[in-house]
Amino acid sequence: GYSQLPRHVHGLAGAPEWPAIKAMLPDLAGRRVVDLGCGFGWASRWMRENGAASVLGLDLSRNMIDRAIADTHDEAISYRIADLETLELPPAAFDLVYSALTFHYVQDFARLARMIGDALVPGGELVFTIEHPIFMAAARPGWMQDHDGRKTWPVNGYSVEGERRTDWFASGVLKYHRTIATTVNTLIEAGFRLRRIGEFAPTQEQIFQNGGLAEELERPMMLLVAAVKD
Amino acid sequence: GYSQLPRHVHGLAGAPEWPAIKAMLPDLAGRRVVDLGCGFGWASRWMRENGAASVLGLDLSRNMIDRAIADTHDEAISYRIADLETLELPPAAFDLVYSALTFHYVQDFARLARMIGDALVPGGELVFTIEHPIFMAAARPGWMQDHDGRKTWPVNGYSVEGERRTDWFASGVLKYHRTIATTVNTLIEAGFRLRRIGEFAPTQEQIFQNGGLAEELERPMMLLVAAVKD
Q: Which of A155, A188, A217 is nearest residue B134 as measured by Cβ atoms?
A: A155
User: pLDDT at position A11, please?
Assistant: 82
Whether residue A83 is predicted with pLDDT greater than 90 in this model: the reply is: yes
CB of B207 within 8 Å of a chain A CB? The answer is no
Instruction: Report the run of H or E that residue A229 belongs to, with start and end.
Output: strand A222-229
**ipTM exceeds 0.90:** yes
Question: Which H/E stretch holds residue B126?
Answer: strand B120-131
Segment A154-181 shows an average pLDDT of 90
* Per-residue pLDDT, B1: 59
Burial class of A162 by CB neighbour count within 10 A (0 to 12, 13 to 18, 19+): exposed
Distance CA A185, CA A194 (A): 10
Residue of chain B nearest A185, judged by CA positions: B196
**Nearest chain B Cα distance for residue A10, angstroms:** 26
- Residue window 100-159, chain B: list those with CB within 8 Å of chain A: 134, 138-140, 144, 146-148, 150-159
Can you tell me the distance from the alpha carbon of A23 to that of A129, in angstroms, rounded to the nearest whole number? 13
Give the containing element (helix H, strand E) for B171. Answer: strand B170-177
Mean pLDDT (whole number) for A165-186: 88
d(CA B116, CA B37): 14
A206 touches chain B (CB under 8 A): no
pLDDT at A2 over 70: no
Query: In this prediction, what percent of chain A has a pLDDT beyond 90?
Result: 90
pLDDT score of B173: 85
Measure A176 CA to nearest chain B CA, in Å. 16
Do A139 and B160 make contact, defined as CB atoms within 8 angstroms?
no
* Cα–Cα distance for residue pair A110/A118, rounded to 1 Å: 12
Tens-digit pLDDT profile for residues A104-132: 999 999 999 999 999 999 999 999 999 99
| Band (A168; pLDDT cuts 50, 70, 90) | low
The mean pLDDT value for A199-211 works out to 95
CA–CA gap between residue A89 and residue A106 (Å, rounded): 16
Q: Where are the alpha helices (DSSP H) in B72-177?
A: 109-119, 133-136
Q: What is chain B's mean pLDDT, rounded?
A: 95
DSSP A104-162: GG-S-HHHHHHHHHHHEEEEEEEEEEEE-HHHH-SSS-S-EE-TT--EEEEE-STT--E
CB pairs under 8 A between A and B: 134
Distance CA B59, CA B21 (A): 20
For residue B157, the chain A residues in CB contact (below 8 A) are 217-218
> Which DSSP string corresponds to B6-72?
HHHHSGGGG-TTHHHHHHHSPP-TT-EEEEET-TTSHHHHHHHHTT-SEEEEEES-HHHHHHHHHH-
Query: Is it the case that residue B168 has pLDDT exceeding 90?
Result: no
A186 or B12, higher pLDDT: A186
Per CB-CB distance under 8 Å, the chain A contacts of B138 are 146, 152
What is the per-residue pLDDT for A6? 75
Would you tell me the crossing angle of helices A109-119 and A180-189 to the nearest 10 degrees? 40
Q: What CATH homologous superfamily does B2-137+177-229 map to?
A: Vaccinia Virus protein VP39 (3.40.50.150)
| pLDDT(A166) > 90 | no
**Where do runs of H (alpha helix) occur along A190-227?**
204-209
Give the homologous superfamily in CATH for domain A2-132+177-229.
Vaccinia Virus protein VP39 (3.40.50.150)
Q: Has residue A170 got a pLDDT over 80? A: no
Q: How far apart (Å, rounded) are the C-alpha atoms in residues B174 and B187? A: 22
Does A229 or B9 have the greater pLDDT score? A229
Gap between the Cα atoms of A206 and A213, Å rounded: 7
Cα(A37)–Cα(A32) distance, rounded to whole angstroms?
A: 16
pLDDT at A229: 98
% of chain A surpassing 70 pLDDT: 97
Residue B3 confidence (pLDDT) above 80: no
| Yes or no, beta carbons of B220 and A140 under 8 Å apart | no
pLDDT of residue B14: 85
Which residues of chain B make contact with A224, given a CB cutoff of 8 A? 181
CA distances from A139 to A21, A76, A212, A217, B85 (A): 28, 43, 24, 22, 40
Confidence label for B2 from pLDDT (cuts 50, 70 and 90): low
**Residues in chain A within 8 Å Cβ distance of B177:** none
Cβ separation B158–A217 shorter than 8 A:
yes
Per-residue pLDDT at A13: 83
* A161 in reach of chain B (CB within 8 A): no
- β-strand B94-100 against B120-131: which pairing, if any? parallel
The answer, yes or no, to whether residue A19 has pLDDT greater than 70, is yes
State pLDDT tens for residues B53-111. 999 999 999 999 999 999 999 999 999 999 999 999 999 999 999 999 999 999 999 99
Instruction: Kindly state the percentage of chain B with pLDDT values over 70.
Output: 96
Q: How close does chain B come to A107, measured CA to CA in Å?
A: 20
Confidence of residue B43 (pLDDT cuts 50, 70, 90): very high
**φ, ψ at A204 (rounded to 5°):** -60, -40
Query: Residue A10: which pLDDT band, with cuts at 50, 70 and 90?
Result: confident
- Among A42, A95, A85, smallest CA distance to A60 is for A85
